[in-house]
Each structure stands twice: as structure tokens, then as C-alpha cells.
Structure 1
Amino acid sequence: MDEIINQRRQIDEIDEEIMRLLGERVRICRSIGLLKRRRGFQIEDVQREKEVLAHVKEKAERFELNPELTERIYRLIIELCRVVQHVDE
């Protein structure tokens, strides 16, 4: 049981790091949104989103993750960032 508890603690630490990095990503996206508005660009950049998703699917395979599920997760992350960029309008 101790081994399970230890591994769960490791998962908790990893989850915290994931959240920290997600927060950092959102802050950067917010900054990009401000720059886009100042320059008169659209918030949505479909081409960039396609590039990110293709890159993520490729990386998923290298890390032995399911590419389709990883893509779904990243679609949600992209949506989160898009919402943050629109909220600041």
C-alpha cells in the first residue's frame, strides 16, 4: 500500500506542475490576445491551431500517449486560451 501512496503523491506533484504550466500557457495566450487586438488581428488563427494539433499528435506517439485523446485534450486547452483572449476584449 505504501508504494501506491507514494505513486499517488508523485501523480499529485505532476498534476500541480501540469496546472502551473497550463496557467503559464494561459498567461502567454492572454498576452498574445492583447497584441492581436492592438494590431487588428483576429483572435482565432485556424492555421496555427491546426499546426499545434498536428504537432501534439506527433509528440503524443513519441510519449506513448493516445494521439486522438491527446488531440481532444489540446482542443480543450486551445478553447480555454481562446476564451481568455476574448474575455479581455
Structure 2
Amino acid sequence: MHFSLGRRNGDDSGEEPESPAEHTLDTLRTELDTVDAALLDAVRQRLEVCLRIGELKRREHIPLMQPGRMDFVHERAREYADRHSLSPEFFDALYDLLIAETCRLEDLVINADAPSPDTNGRDHRENSPRTRHGADSSANAESR
């Protein structure tokens, strides 16, 4: 949460009280902190749903890659950006980050019974569908 470094009215330090602009800035920062907390909770919830998707895919042997899903999610985000006069490029970048993390988590779920990396950090699953495509494959995976 936000902690103001500004001076407060009624302060015994002898310094000037907080200006109206500083007070407004503190109020806006508090509002932003509330929005940030909701955003972080929403991202956590999204990741939890993606873990459940990974578990379902693993259990039911559903292919990891779902053609068109990532395109659909990106397009939906771009349309949202357009409707709200925001940057579609920003939303593309945001979803690239979200998708990369969900793919990382899904890898953990799907490959949970696979051998773990050796002591040099190399993964013994190099021929699995996910690792065969390298780190960039997550950009092409389903975004959930």
C-alpha cells in the first residue's frame, strides 16, 4: 500500500502543512494502490484457472497447443483497447507476459511426473513437445 512522505496538517514538526495538490496526489495514489491490489488479485485468479486448465489437459491428454486461442485472446484485448482509447500494443505486450507465465505454469503441471532438471540446470525432457520448440514456444501456446 501507499505510504505518503508528505507533511500532514497538525504536525508538530513546525513544517508547512501538506498542500492541496499534495493531498490530492496522496488520495489518487491511494486509489491507484486499491486498483493495483485488484489487478494483482485478478492476475493470481487467472493463473489459478490456467493451472486447472493444465491439470485437465494432462488428465484428459488434451494437446497443449490450441490453435487460434492465443490469437482470439489477443484480438479481444486489442478490441478492448480500441473501445477504451488505449494502446493495443500495450495490451499485446501485457498478454504476451501473461501467456508466457501461464505456459510456464502449465509446463509444470503437464510435466509434473517427468524427470526434473539435472544439477547443471539442464532439463531431461528435451524431446517433449513443449521443450522441443524452445523457450519461444510459449508465445504460441494457448493463452487459456
Q: Decide whether the 8 Å contact of 1:53 with 1:74 is kept in 2.
A: yes
1:82 aligned to which of 103, 116, 123: 103
Q: Alpha carbon RMSD of aligned pairs, Å?
A: 1.0
Work out whether 1:58 is the aligned partner of 2:70: no
More helix by share: 1
Counterpart contact for 1:43–1:82, Cα < 8 Å = no
Moved more, 11-20 or 56-65: 56-65
Amino acid at match of 2:24: E
2:32 aligned partner, one-letter code: I
TM-score, with structure 1 as normaliser: 0.93
| Runs of 4+ that moved beyond 4 A | none
Gaps of 5+ in 2: 1-21, 112-144
- Give the deviation of 1:42 after TM superposition: 2.4
Whole-Å separation in 2 of the counterparts to 1:79 and 1:44: 13
1:61 Cα deviation after fit: 1.2
Matches of 2:83 and 2:90, distance apart in 1: 14
Q: For residues 53 and 24 of structure 2, what CA distance do their matches in structure 1 show?
A: 43
Cα offset, 1:14, TM superposition: 0.4
Match among 34, 59, 68 for residue 38 of structure 1: 59
Give the secondary-structure state (helix, strand or coil) at the position aligned to 1:45.
coil
Higher RCO, 1 vs 2 (CA within 8 Å, ≥6 residues apart): 1
Q: Tell me how many residue pairs correspond in the alignment.
A: 89
**2: CA distance, partners of 1:82 / 1:41:** 15
| Amino acid paired to 2:87 | N
Q: Is the 8 A contact 1:36 1:43 kept in 2?
A: yes
Alpha-carbon offset, residue 34 of structure 1: 0.6
- Corresponding residue of 1:69: 90
Q: Structure 1 regions of 5+ residues with no counterpart?
A: none
Which protein has the larger Cα radius of gyration, Structure 1 or Structure 2?
A: 2
Q: Distance in 2 between matches of 1:66 and 1:81?
A: 23
